[in-house]
Structure 1
Amino acid sequence: MTLIDFENHIEKNLPFLAKSKLIIAISGGMDSVVLTHLCHKLKLNISLAHCNFNLRGDESDGDEDFVLELAEDLDLEVFIESFETEVYAEEHNISIQMAARDLRYNWFQELAEQLKFDYVLTAHHADDNLETFFINLMRGTGLDGLIGIPETNGVLVRPILPFSHAELKTFAQSEKIDWCEDSTNASTKYVRNKLRHNVIPILKEMNPKLLQNFQKTQAHLQESTEIIDDALVRVQKKVVKATDDFIHLDIKKLQQLSNPKIYLYQLLKDFHFTEWDDVYQLLDAQSGKFLVSKTHRLLKDRDTLILSELIEESEETTIFLQEEVNEASFLMGKLRFEDVDNMEDTSVKTIYVNKNLLKYPLSLKKWEKGAYFYPFGMTGKKKLSKFFKDEKLSLLEKEQTWLLYSGNQIVWVIGLRADNRFKVTNETNPILKISLHNDET
């Protein structure tokens, strides 16, 4: 690899970097140091960011000193952050490697946001991509895992991904570039290092063109994903209906597809579900069955799968509202209270009640089984469970329904129906307007 090769790659595939404010994630190792020199020679607008994870004693401090000297030599702005990585790993019950990764990328994201950097450049190269492929293959993965490391991912960009470790080393030696050696890279304690030192060299010995052939294979896999994405768009239009709070998947239409299981995987893979056999079996499960990922819940409700985000519930299950309160926030949004002379807006998000009939404090809470009310416009009372059934609410929608109470009487099934006992008549004075708003209004 030469500077011209790198320049041609940037101009052809990553031209936006030429006009962007960039920060390079630099460890002090060969890969990131070479990336720094290449970008500097192209006169890109770069700064450096170095993480000291305090895992290798004096060696970690030596890497930091090296990066500081390099920044001074190249007249570049540099940011240094020191982390207590082992403490973080223990507190979050994760491995040292995962802790370092979390700390590193969280900090890069913060730098980019706070200091208005357009992109963060990392020094992943073709050999890293090959190792990642084998790691994912051993763990069991879908097509996305076999494609490997993306060249761009949000603010992250990997400009030397097409180039091999050997090519980068040749460039470094030809330019007489110094770098730091991480002693842990020689250890075979970790899976990636075992692949790097024990497995991949044998494969390269068997086929010297392993890396080139691997890149061709990944290009073919990427083309296959484009076909899958096109098919998925067509399926989504038929199967998926999204609202502000839920994603609904039509089970009958899913079951008519050639391979419902793989379509379910493609539709739901970004929501952190892992037990895909269980997800598939949900299609034939009883209504009310559900699965939970670390971020979402998938519920079987009659002929529909309903996906919703997990919301951390407040410990306070009941919110009390005094008469002087004008606005109250809760999980559904905000309730606003206003004395008015007449009724104007009559949407489901607004009700008008006879204020003289209210007993303060009012209370806000989730619905409970056995509760009943007198639906506005009807005579007689009705159990909430029957009302929800008539309204065809799903289990998730029921769980997220809140009630406004006066004493032990329901004033409003919020967003659905007011209670007839508090209705406004021609003689009502004062009239209280109660309206539901989301956080933006």
Structure 2
Amino acid sequence: MVQKFKEHVAAAMPFLNGKKLLLACSGGLDSVVLAHLCKALKFDFALAHCNFSLRGTESDGDEDFVRELASTFEIDVYVKQFDTEQYAEEQRLSVQMAARELRYKWFDELLQSKRYDYVLTAHHADDSLETFLINLSRGTGIEGLSGIPQVNGNVVRPLLPFSRNEIIEYAKSESIQWREDSSNASVKYLRNKIRHEIVPGIKELNPTFLQNFQHTQHHLRQINDLVNNHLNELKSKLFQQRKDKVQIKIAELQKLQPLDAYLYGLFNGYGFSEWSDVKDLLAAESGKQVFSKTHRLIKDRQSLILAKIERKESEAFEIHSDKAIDELPIKISLEDVETFEKQGQNVVFLDKEKLNFPLVLRNWKKGDYFYPFGMKGKKKLSKFFKDEKMDLISKEKQWLLCSGDDIVWIVGRRADERFKVDGSTMKILKITQFP
């Protein structure tokens, strides 16, 4: 197996050679065998062990075993104890999902703080089959059927071509010791039920099933790559980046057939799952939104706007005439000047004596109005934004410079008539917004 492992690494992941590697080691069969194989290939690696505190003394025994293994190999070992059940309760997750989040978050911290290049995990071919069946039972797209990726960012899985039987036979032939996790025998977990009750029956019907499955999954991954390449080309044409948001023309989306499949492929990576709502958005009124945990899609006239969700309260900042302007969300300057020049979108000239300091820079809110420069009468900001054809995100990010409750300047767009320089002005204040 060492030779086969060496050949696999050379062909599929030569980038591991000469790198600092962190091997996730539970103390179980798979991760211990991976540690022995990495030792045989003389990799520069350390062990990382998560004690999830779920099995009492048994968990502590696993920790002691991994520490002893590292000592035998004369390599570094990192151990972290977690209160997994408490974290699961706080985050409203299953214990299994909580353990996964805690594990990978800690691995990322170790990569950064200890300057490791990659994390190695011991997932193998049977794990990939079990994941396939789990995803199939829950309903999934082609990506969910493509199996566990060999490389996912800085996480690498060198044992994926190897079966559980191969790993067991190698461990026995080399007299390798490992720890048995008693929870793996329980069929109350879906993965264990599939492992102990479903997969053995399939293998009994067809002894070469696992090998055939690996070939099938290889083809599925290739098809998935083709699909992703096509979708990425589409995104480069349809997704127009506009600062911190993406604009997609609805008419171009509606040309795609089958539309449901394209909507899934284009937006699934942003966490959306209510596909009927996403489709309905194409014909909805402007301002309608669909949310995922991380993003939102907004109908805006003839386009969809895709943007990250930014969870923040409305902010306000005071600006004093005699103090330096620091820590503002935008860059502006205040300057007393003697002469009045032509103002533009990014420069305004104001009658300083009409202003009440400190000025306030804030977000807009419902009911705001101003007196547009050069016009008579007031205008609601909502109507001004509509006339300017501003989308919802641009409205939310629009800053207002105010004197008391009065809007002085819709920053970067329009000044207020009430604070303009006129024949009676004695002091002129120039305010400039910089990119």
TM-score (norm 1): 0.92
Contact in 1 for aligned 2:51/2:82 (Cα 8 Å): yes
The answer as to whether partners of 1:328 and 1:336 remain within 8 angstroms in 2 is no
Counterparts of 1:287 and 1:123 in 2: how far apart (Å)?
49
- Whole-Å separation in 2 of the counterparts to 1:382 and 1:39: 71
1:275-326 CA distance string (max 9 Å, x none): 1121112112222221111111111122111111111122x65444333443
Partner in structure 2 of residue 120 of structure 1: 119
Matched, 1:408 2:420: no
The match for 1:270 is: 269
User: Larger deviation: 404-413 or 68-77?
Assistant: 404-413
Which residues of 2 match residues 16-415 of structure 1 at below 5 A? 16-314=15-313, 317-327=315-325, 329=327, 333-339=329-335, 341=337, 348-376=345-373, 381-415=378-412
In 2, distance between residues paired with 1:29 and 1:45?
21
| Cα distance in structure 1, aligned partners of 2:38 and 2:342 | 60
Deviation of 1:159 after TM superposition, in Å, equals 0.9
* Cα-Cα RMSD: 2.3
Q: Residue 147 of structure 2 aligns to which amino acid in structure 1?
A: G
1:346 to 1:50, Cα distance in 2 relative to 1, 3 A: farther
Greater alpha carbon shift after TM alignment, 192-201 vs 414-423:
414-423
Structure 1, 227-236 or 178-187: larger mean CA deviation: 227-236
C-alpha deviation, 1:233, in angstroms: 3.1
Range with bigger deviation, 219-228 or 17-26: 219-228
> Given the superposition, is the C-alpha separation of residues 428 and 205 from structure 1 closer, same or farther in structure 2, using an over 3 Å criterion?
farther
Partner of 1:431: 429
Q: Distance in 2 between matches of 1:337 and 1:308?
A: 30
Per the alignment, do residues 334 and 317 of structure 1 end up closer, same or farther by CA in structure 2, a change over 3 Å counting? closer
Structure 1 residue runs of 5 or longer lacking an equivalent are: none
Aligned mates of 1:272, 1:288 — CA distance in 2: 20
Q: Please tell me whether the aligned partners of residues 362 and 405 of structure 1 are also in contact (alpha carbons under 8 angstroms).
A: yes
Q: Percent identity?
A: 49
> Structure 2: which 5+ runs fail to align?
none
Secondary structure, counterpart of 1:136 in structure 2? helix
Shift of 1:424: 5.5
CA distance in structure 2 between the aligned counterparts of 1:410 and 1:293, rounded to whole angstroms = 34
| Conservation of the 8 A alpha-carbon contact between 2:28 and 2:179 | yes
Counterpart contact for 2:29–2:178, Cα < 8 Å: yes
| Counterpart-to-counterpart distance in 2, 1:40 and 1:425 | 82
Question: What amino acid is the match of 1:260?
Answer: L
Output the CA distance in 2 between the equivalents of 1:364 and 1:144. Answer: 47
Name the count of aligned residue pairs: 433
Separation in structure 1 between the aligned mates of residue 63 and residue 141 of structure 2, nearest angstrom: 38
Superimposed CA distance per residue, residues 312-357 of structure 1 (whole angstroms, 9 cap, x where no aligned partner): 122x654443334433546xx2343342658999774554544343
**What whole-Å deviation, never above 9, does each CA across 1:182-232 have from its counterpart, x for those lacking one?**
010111010000000000000000111111111111111112122212322
Pairwise CA distance, 1:423: 4.3
Q: Secondary structure at the match of 1:19?
A: coil
Offset of 1:431 from its aligned partner?
3.1
SS at match of 1:411: strand
What TM-score, normalized by structure 2, do the two folds share?
A: 0.93
Distance 1:99 1:92 in 2: 8
Q: Alpha-carbon deviation of 1:142?
A: 0.9
- Listed one character per residue, the Cα deviations across residues 83-120 of structure 1 (whole Å, up to 9, x for unaligned) are 11111111212111111111111100100011111111
Tell me, yes or no, if the aligned pair for 1:112 and 1:119 is still in contact at 8 Å. Answer: yes
Aligned match for 2:415, one of 410, 413, 418 = 418
Aligned 8 A contact 1:328 1:334 in 2: no
Q: What is the distance in 1 between the residues matched to 2:347 and 2:221? A: 51
User: Which amino acid in the other structure matches residue 146 of structure 2?
Assistant: I
Q: Alignment partner of 1:94: what SS?
A: coil
Offset at 1:392?
Answer: 0.8
Query: For residues 296 and 159 of structure 1, what CA distance do their matches in structure 2 show?
Result: 34
CA distance in 1, matches of 2:169, 2:345: 69
C-alpha spacing 1:192/1:325, structure 2 compared with 1 (3 Å): farther
1:139-180 residue CA offsets vs partner (Å, 9 max, x unmatched):
111111111111111111111111111111111111111110
Q: Structure 1 residues 227, 405: CA separation in 2 closer, same or farther (over 3 Å shift)?
A: same
| Aligned 8 A contact 1:318 1:364 in 2 | yes
